[in-house]
A = this chain, B = another copy of it.
Amino acid sequence: MQTVIPHWLTKQAEISPEQIAIQNGNGSTLTFQQLKESSQNYARKLAALGVSSGTHVAVLSTNKQEMVVAIHALSYLQAVVVLLNSRLTSEELTYQLKDAEVSFLLYDGSLAPLSEEIPFSQSLSFTAVNHLQPKDVKLATEINLQTPFTMMYTSGTTGFPKGVVHTYGNHWWSAVGSALNLGIQKEDKWLAVLPLFHVSGLSILIRSVIYGMTVYLLEKFNRKKVHHVILTKKITMISVVTVMLQQLLDELGEDSYPAYLRCMLLGGGPAPKPLLEQAKEKNVPVFQSFGMTETASQIVTLSAKDALKKIGSAGKPLFPAQLKINTPDENGVGEIFVKGPMVTNGYYNNESATVNAIHNGWLATGDLGYLDKEGYLYVVDRRSDLIISGGENVYPSEVESTMARFPGIKEVGVTGKADPKWGEVPVAFIVTDQTYNHGELQCFLTEHLAAYKRPKEIHEVDYLPRNASNKLVRLELKKLIK
């Protein structure tokens, strides 16, 4: 039994044609009716290019209205949108384009320099597409929830990025689960400053079309700008990562936010308790959450109400989700498994990774945690290796395998170090031979790794801590930092 619904943007344009869909930082707006028309027009131009049902089309952009239009346009053609992280290097992007079997790459003009570095022939700027003659094609009027809609890359313990496939249903159920938890109110307006190429940002767009809610779109985080927008633009919801929360609280000082700001959804890694307590003191309605690309955004959320008594907890699994702690130890701590219709069916063209991660619908998150007596989740350790730096995931294995390719580096181990601004930053320990050149290594890293993945410190050591089976012990690396 396939579940079919009307195309969500068309539907919202029918229900609330005059409602503002997108409000841009520069003041311009687009209603749902206008967004629908722009997206449909853009779809016809993409069709002229040769995009059709099932075509994989990559999008490389910061948070811009053109990106929103491109995403919806691709959905009208039933193409699959591969969302690229604009912070990656051309080499990293090239890997993803190939792995995702992308046919076309669309990029925002501001990223032309980066896109030109990518050896990929079918690249076009948003503007170039706009100059094409539209082709008269039949656009989707319905959405089958089983159909793949987006792909996003996430690294993992193996070091090879994997393409997480989201169906329309994954996004739909995530939006509905969020609504059942946070409620839906007419006056809601969600500030999207997290990148739309991450699921934390994209999910705001999807909620917008499903709820008929305005998204206030900002291209990048600037503490003064975001602070000003919250105070003056009737923002009721905002998604943030820890580093942003910290900066916003600093900016807030002794002031307070307007009472209609009802949810500051906090994701992207564990938050230090002092920060949460500070938010509590200032009456900032922080909702801690737990989620990952595979769960199409938050899957566990702590309401502001519970935040007072459950500080440090990520909350309870959202309505359509289940959670269990796998083989808990004597303290109840074990690996967090989650299940629900928002969880991905798997990784693109990567059966082994899929089989490793998902068993009978249960996703092994790789994170450790426990449930208290009332069922609230406490995450005690993120995926053993994972470093979360300013909301971006950094997998040590990926950094290590890149660094190991550099001439003169014999062994390398990477771990996270606490950082007052970014939460954590990667730090590397290397064993080198006499041909090693530090300056050249920096050039090499700049070419091959996104800035946030590059080690902020590189320490030369005589040997790396290894266990009996010669496996790197990253826990020992952490001790070396001290």
Copy number in the complex reads 2
Residue A333 CB within 8 A of the other chain: no
Contact A180 B179 (CB under 8 A): yes
Q: Which A176-194 residues have a C-beta within 8 angstroms of B?
A: 176, 179-180, 183-186
Residue A328 CB within 8 A of the other chain: no
Contact A169 B15 (CB under 8 A): no
Contact B1 A146 (CB under 8 A): yes
Contact B180 A210 (CB under 8 A): yes
Residue A11 CB within 8 A of the other chain: yes
Closest to A185 in B: B183
Chain A interface residue count, CB cutoff 8 Å, equals 38
Contact B341 A5 (CB under 8 A): yes
* Residues on B with beta carbons closer than 8 Å to the beta carbon of A15: 316, 319
Residue A321 CB within 8 A of the other chain: yes
Q: Digit string of A23-54 for contact with B (CB within 8 Å is 1, else 0)?
A: 00000000000000000000000000000000
Residue A348 CB within 8 A of the other chain: no
Closest to A322 in B: B6
* Residues on B with beta carbons closer than 8 Å to the beta carbon of A12: 319
* Residues on B with beta carbons closer than 8 Å to the beta carbon of A319: 5, 8, 11-12, 15, 210
Q: Which A115-145 residues have a C-beta within 8 angstroms of B?
A: 142, 145
* Residues on B with beta carbons closer than 8 Å to the beta carbon of A321: 6
Q: Which A354-406 residues have a C-beta within 8 angstroms of B?
A: 361, 374-375
Residue A3 CB within 8 A of the other chain: yes
Contact A5 B320 (CB under 8 A): yes
Q: Report the separation of the CA atoms of residues A2 and B12 in the bound assembly, to the nearest whole angstrom.
A: 26
CB distance from A180 to the nearest CB of B (A): 7
Q: Digit string of A6-24 for contact with B (CB within 8 Å is 1, else 0)?
A: 1010011011010000000
Q: CB within 8 A of A184: which of B6, B183, B361?
A: B183
* Residues on B with beta carbons closer than 8 Å to the beta carbon of A481: none
Q: Digit string of A315-336 for contact with B (CB within 8 Å is 1, else 0)?
A: 0100111100000000000000
Residue A4 CB within 8 A of the other chain: yes
* Residues on B with beta carbons closer than 8 Å to the beta carbon of A210: 180, 319
Closest to A142 in B: B322
* Residues on B with beta carbons closer than 8 Å to the beta carbon of A4: 339, 341, 361
Q: Report the separation of the CA atoms of residues A17 and B306 in the bound assembly, to the nearest whole angstrom.
A: 13
Residue among A11, A17, A321 having the largest count of chain B Cβ atoms under 10 Å: A11
A-B residue pairs in contact (CB < 8 Å), sample of 17 = A1-B345, A3-B145, A3-B341, A4-B339, A4-B341, A5-B340, A5-B341, A6-B321, A11-B319, A15-B316, A179-B179, A179-B180, A179-B184, A180-B211, A183-B185, A183-B186, A210-B319
Going nearest first, the 6 A-B pairs with the smallest beta carbon separation are A5-B320, A183-B184, A6-B322, A1-B146, A3-B341, A184-B184
Known A142-B322, A180-B210, A183-B184; further 14 A-B contacts with Cβ < 8 A: A1-B2, A4-B361, A5-B341, A6-B321, A12-B319, A14-B375, A15-B316, A15-B319, A17-B374, A176-B176, A183-B183, A183-B186, A184-B184, A185-B185
